[in-house]
Structure 1
Amino acid sequence: MSPPQHFMEQLDQEKRYPAATQDQEITDETTNSKDGYDKEAQTVVTTLDDSSVNSSRDPANTLPPVPLQMKLLSVLLVSCIGFGSQWSSGVSSAMKSTMKKEMHINNTQFSLLEASEDFMSSALILLTGIFTDRLGGTGCIVYGNIIYTIGSILIAGAAETRSYKFMIVGRVIASFGDIATQVAQYKVFSSWFPPSHGFASTLGFELGIKKIGGFNCGFSSVFWTMVGMNIFTNLATILLFFLVRFCEKRYTSIADPATGEKLTEKNKKVDFKKVLEMPWPFWCMIAFTIFQTTTANVFSQNATELAEQRFNADSITAGWYTAVLQYAGFFFVPLLGVFIDIFGQRVSAMVVCGAGCFLSMALVCWAPSIKGTAAAFGIYAFAFSLGPTVIIDGIRTSMWHQGAFGTAYGIKVTINNA
């Protein structure tokens, strides 16, 4: 073989060997990568299996859901608490004329008596909502009702001795308890029932029972009856406290079917940023409740004197008329709650409520006859029955997270009292 030919064959062999070596290296890398992928996949599967086993072993996931009987019992207890609270808060408005005569005070002094409680609510209710989200509704109800009972005893003593200043002190002390329970009652509902799945129905039932609680007359005996109502409220609160603790140990958390969010009674920490992070539909509800609640407060506080003047009735009979305004819608409010849970139509209910409140005030101003005043009372009783249920349910529905409901309701009460 000639040297040039031998040299060419040697070059061909050198070209083939690196190519073969490179192919072998690529094959080895592919094999190694496949083995690596198999090992990683096996690791992932093993991890998933372990997490599944661990989750199945988690006691919280093995607990059964809260039965309907326990939910209904909680609604009944909270409604009893609301009944006692409404009885106590409705006394002064229904007995305005009698209080002025018995305690020898004028309209300015009576307004100061009402404003003392409203001022405390305006100053503290927002913080109460934030801390209720953190501490839970049940605990706040327990402590709030104890404080409210102490205040009601002082108020009854002031009515017995006809002491105006002493009654102001009692109202301020009672306001601390009332502030704590206002938010906490609905916080309990929000942790048991999601929107459109029982929340509005339970609100309607509780608010209907509250309206029955506004049906009262008399003077000093009524204030002592208020003390008895608060003792009854405390008993219901204690039962609710132990019921919630029992369900927390025996049953799993309730989930919102729409979002999958676990409903909780209290958060892990206090979060003040929630006040600035409320969604815009919530602020629309707040704008509506400002006008609706203001109209309702003005009408309710002056209904007794209005009935005396327009119907030529004495103070006792006028007090009954005022109580009927609060009592008349007790059977309608639960039906409204069921309607909202099934069909929604919250905006439609708000429109009817707003139009009814406007019409009732217009009749009072421009139809001073007996028929015009009676029509105003009837329209107001119907329209006012729509307001609380649709407002509170609308606030809850507008929330991104259920844990911020206490803060949201605190904002609502703060703005209403401002």
Structure 2
Amino acid sequence: MRSLKDDDDNQIQSAVDPKPVSNQSTCSSHKLHEDLFSPEELNACDREVTDPESEKDPLMKASIQLKIVILICMLALPVGCHYLEATMGTLKTTLKHKMHINNTEFSILLSSVSLVNTVLPLLAGTFIDDVSHLGSIRATTIVSMVIFIGSLLVSIAGIRNSYPIMITGQIIYGLGGGMIVTMQEGILSRWFRDRQLAIVIGILLCIARLTKWAAKMVCYPIISATGSDVLPIHVATMLCASGVVMNAVYWMIMYKNGWATVTGKEIVQVKAKYRNQFKRTEKDNSSSIITNSFRWSASLFLYIPATFWMVPWVQLIMSSVLSSFDDIATEFVQFRFQTTSIMAGYQSSLTQVVPIVAAPVMGVIVHRFGKRLTSLLFATFVLTASMVCLAYTWAPPAVGMILFSLALALGPVSVLSSTSLLLPHELAGTGMGLHKCANNIGTTIVSVIVGYVQDLTYHDGDPHDDQADLRQEYHGVMIFYLVMAGCSILVVAIFWMMDRKLLNGWLQADKKERDRRLRCVQQLQEEEAKQYRYGPAYESKSTEISAQLQGIGSQLRERKSYVYVSIYSFWLVASWAVFLTFALMPIYQHYS
């Protein structure tokens, strides 16, 4: 009886159908990043004749209807995660009363999700890029199951009012929550990097915000109608189970169309319209050949260009404020503006309203007209204005929440659509993983500090005390948010200058300019293939192609740099140190 591995190998062999090449010469040593390639790959064992037809994307044969179905599957994967995240934040006051915990302990409860995702999304990104091993299909299946198990434990903890079980469930759910979003974004980036990516990102954010808005809106009405304060968590658990089903649909589609084996091993992957340094043109006695030499390696982190590392900085500073404030918005409105929990839920849900409509529109605008960093810079000013409005004016909370919602619509679309434009398409998943990890690093640090500052401002954390004290409970927290929002303005301004100087405004370019640059790279590579037999001409074209690849964000560094990786690692370690310091506080400070 044949094994499943034999079946995979047979299907892969029949799908690839390589064309024979005669008189192939031994490949020359790769001058750039040769330490990233195995000896077998450097010997060009898997070369194929240069042919425009052979460079066509194997997935382009898919009909528009089929692509829409795949897009729907990807959009549905993290719906349960978004719903559970919004529900837990909305139930902050209720859960504190039921489990008899303070603000710091509740912040630990929420941060336990983001803590494990300070590393795991990066693994998820490598799973997407390294299709020769686990691949995206099997990885999303495993992660979807982990999410469901974790959400089930959170539901059980809600029934039993158990803080330890709930933290355990949050950690298990968090193991998959951050990874599934990264995988979703990575897969969509591979499909749409040069094909309306900004529009797809807008739709992605629209669905995420719509889910969170619905969760906040219906949370307390469900409790009032049923008398059960854990039913909203049960609803989230059922949505997590639906993610497992949608992943099975995606698996079936990939298998039925011959893009994956029955065991989920991917046979083909999306190709770009151009070649980067991972595909080398080499000389044969009779023709030019293309060698696909990409092999994922941890050494790649040292070659990632400086411009890309600004994305994690934006996530660390700006996006952590967006994520953290969204978790405490309901209680903030309830305390400062002295309203009921139901009305506070309605008003805090306004933070999700603008992205529902504006995110897809912004996706179309950014795709057509560019100006990603201009939009991002404007979002930082809006975020700062919203913090001032909520903390220092008595304007209705709806005003500040809608301003915050506008920042939530403008910022993420710009950041997410920029991420995959700053790396070669083979590293789309890795880039998404790095930016998602940075978001969770910042959210972990900010959320824990916010809970501690809140307890310092209002020591016993009991919301039944004097109402005047409740209004001041978030005073120190809002000062902290305002400082972070101001720092985000500076970071984005530096990002804008780096893009202008190093990439000639690639992130600001409109569709016409982006297409022109892509065509220029294609034309140069075609000339390189024709003129390869003439040494001096080839060297000249290689230099020019490298410059053009840098202009479209697809050129890695020529030399290793440990600076950016070291800074990133410092904040990663800092997030774990902050979490453990405050998580263990009840022990070393002898809490009763």
TM-score normalised by the chain length of structure 1: 0.79
Higher mean C-alpha deviation, range 318-327 or range 388-397: 318-327
Q: Does 1:245 align with 2:255?
A: yes
Structure 1 residue 336 corresponds to structure 2 residue 362: yes
Aligned to 1:234: 244
In the alignment, which of 70, 73, 87 is matched to residue 74 of structure 1? 70
In structure 2, give the amino acid aligned to 1:73. V
CA distance in 1 between counterparts of 2:337 and 2:166 reads 30
Q: d(CA) in 2 for partners of 1:388 and 1:262?
A: 29
Please tell me whether the aligned partners of residues 86 and 327 of structure 2 are also in contact (alpha carbons under 8 angstroms). no
- Partner in structure 2 of residue 97 of structure 1: 93
Question: Which residue pairs with 1:28 in the alignment?
Answer: none
Match of 1:321 among 347, 351, 371: 347
* Cα shift at 1:79: 1.2
Q: Which runs of 5+ in 2 are unaligned?
A: 1-20, 25-46, 221-228, 261-266, 279-292, 442-592
Are residues 1:208 and 2:215 paired?
Answer: no
Letter in 2 for 1:200: A
Q: Which amino acid aligns with 2:230?
A: S
User: Compared with structure 1, are the counterparts of its residues 59 and 351 closer, same or farther at alpha carbon in structure 2 (3 Å cutoff)?
Assistant: closer
Q: Does 1:137 align with 2:136?
A: yes
C-alpha displacement of 1:347: 1.1
Task: Give the aligned partner of residue 373 of structure 2.
Answer: 347
By how many angstroms is 1:158 displaced?
0.5
Shift of residue 104, structure 1, vs aligned partner: 2.2
Q: Is the 8 A contact 1:357 1:379 kept in 2?
A: yes
Decide whether the 8 Å contact of 1:94 with 1:323 is kept in 2: no
1:9-408 to structure 2, matched below 5 A, reads 65-134=61-130, 135-195=134-194, 197-214=195-212, 215-216=214-215, 217-218=219-220, 219-249=229-259, 254-257=270-273, 259=274, 269-367=295-393, 369-371=394-396, 373-399=397-423, 401-408=424-431
CA offset digits 1:94-141 (Å, max 9, x no partner): 221222123222101101101212221114333333333213333221
Distance 1:221 1:305 in 2: 19
Cα deviation for residue 167 of structure 1 reads 0.3
Residue type at the aligned position of 1:95: L
Q: Is the contact between residue 127 and residue 139 of structure 2 (CA under 8 Å) also seen in structure 1?
A: no
Superposed CA deviations along residues 303-332 of structure 1, whole A, max 9, x for unmatched, are: 112211233211222123222312442121
Between the aligned partners of 1:148 and 1:204, the Cα distance in structure 2 is 24
Distance 1:64 1:206, change over 3 A: closer
In the alignment, the residues of structure 1 paired with residue 119 and residue 268 of structure 2 have an alpha-carbon distance, to the nearest angstrom, of: 37
2:517 counterpart residue number: none
Q: How many residues align?
A: 364
Q: Which amino acid aligns with 1:76?
A: I
Higher helix share: 1
Look up the equivalent residue of 1:347 and give its one-letter code: L
- Partners of 1:330 and 1:61 lie apart in 2 by 32
Is the 8 Å Cα contact of residues 389 and 395 (structure 2) preserved in structure 1? no
Task: Specify the code of the residue in structure 2 equivalent to 1:210.
Answer: A
Structure 2 equivalent of residue 415 of structure 1:
438
Q: What is the rounded CA distance, in whole Å, between the counterparts of 2:112 and 2:146 in structure 1?
A: 16
Q: Deviations over 1:203-260 (max 9, x none)?
A: 1112101111112214300111011101111111111122233345499754434x35
Counterparts of 2:189 and 2:48, CA distance in 1: 30
User: Are 1:55 and 1:61, in contact at CA under 8 Å, matched by a contact in 2?
Assistant: no
Amino acid at match of 1:187: G
Query: Does structure 2 retain, via aligned residues, the 8 Å contact 1:353–1:386?
Result: yes
CA distance in structure 2 between the aligned counterparts of 1:378 and 1:102, rounded to whole angstroms: 31
C-alpha distance in 1, partners of 2:361/2:190? 22
User: Gaps (5+ residues) in structure 1?
Assistant: 1-44
Q: Determine the C-alpha separation between the residues in 1 that align with 2:180 and 2:189.
A: 14
Contact 1:65 1:253 survives alignment (8 Å): no
- Whether the 8 Å CA contact 2:124–2:179 is kept in 1: the answer is yes
Quote the sequence identity (%): 22
Query: What TM-score, normalized to structure 2?
Result: 0.57
